[in-house]
Structure 1
Amino acid sequence: MSTIAEATEADAEGIAAVFAPYATGSVVTFETTPPTAGQWRAKIRESTWPFLVLSEEGTVLGYALAAPWRPKPAYRHSVETTIYLAPEAAGRGHGRRLLDELLKRCAEAGARQAIAVIVDSGNPASRRLHAAAGFTEAGVLRRVGFKHDRWLDTLLMQRELG
């Protein structure tokens, strides 16, 4: 049975393991060097919005977090959402559970808008997941990233929370 809980520093190694293959072997993130467990611990400590982990029998299978959309004060009620699953966790409904819980907790914490930035050519499953959770397309930023010898677009998707 999998559980969703607020991330703690003890989850940093598992979060790092989930994310690393995406940074090095895919275009679904513009990160090229995976953050270390120490960097993840700092991110967990400094997080001001929900940061959740999905675990099963003590193993981190995925995580979802919200971060400020932009640093200017007028954006304080808008968050950017991030969600990653280990490959073995995909296709089992975990992504939807994690995203739904993240959005619920963001709304409870005062967020009014959730924004997802999805690499348009990197992961069609992410677009489908966000659409199923009520996000709508807000625009495309063309050729804004370069990774693995190709230019990449990002799709912005948005959902009102409250």
Structure 2
Amino acid sequence: LCAIYNHYIEHTTITFDEQSLQPEAFALQIEHVSQRYPWLVIEEKGQVLGYAYASEWGSRSAFRYTVASSIYLHPEAPKRKGMGEMLYRALLSQLADRGFCRVIAAIAVPNEGSVALHKKLGFSQAGYFHAMGYKFQRWIDVIYLELPLASGNSRV
């Protein structure tokens, strides 16, 4: 999992992290996030192909029913096989089952594949922010997408 994320740190603007993570630090992040939110992994024949997870969207208590979501697929995972959609649908289902009401995705753009996946799953644009991050000697815009979950009143 850490190697997948480090690929995106080192070679893309998909994440705004700029320094590779050590596996130990990444494991601690998974442990911390998993205490409250789902962290799902997709494998095939023993090889990790990607992961998706939810995390805190805002630190104030009134945001407790809203989560941020993230998905990362192995850069060599087969494209257009539905793995990302399957993984994300499982994440959204678990979030709804846990009583969360809204999912926010912040996507560094351009990233047509991620935007298309989110829109296919029912996310709609909630905002667009210019020059939010600076990486690889250029400014990066961010699109915010949101998805209301059909969980009604929260049970979190």
Q: TM-score, normalised by structure 2?
A: 0.91
Distance in 2, Cα, partners of 1:46 & 1:21: 22
> Which of 101, 108, 130 is the equivalent residue of 2:97?
108
Which runs of 4 or more aligned residues in structure 1 lie more than 6 Å from their structure 2 counterparts after TM superposition?
Answer: none
Match of 2:153 in 1: none
C-alpha deviation, 1:100, in angstroms: 0.5
Q: Please give the secondary structure, in 2, of the residue aligned with 1:29.
A: coil
Aligned length in residues: 147
Is the 1:18–1:60 contact (alpha carbons within 8 Å) kept by the matching residues of 2? no
Distance in 1, Cα, partners of 2:93 & 2:84: 14
C-alpha deviation, 1:110, in angstroms: 1.4
Match of 1:19 in 2: 5
C-alpha deviation, 1:43, in angstroms: 1.5
RMSD value over aligned CA atoms?
0.9
Distance in 1, Cα, partners of 2:103 & 2:32: 19
Counting aligned pairs with the same residue, the percent is 34
Q: List aligned pairs for 1:1-40, cutoff 5 A.
A: 15-40=1-26
Match of 2:112 in 1: 124
- Structure 1 gap segments, 5+ residues each: 1-14
Instruction: Read off the aligned partner of 1:17 and give its amino acid letter.
Output: A
Q: Please give the secondary structure, in 1, of the residue aligned with 2:30.
A: helix
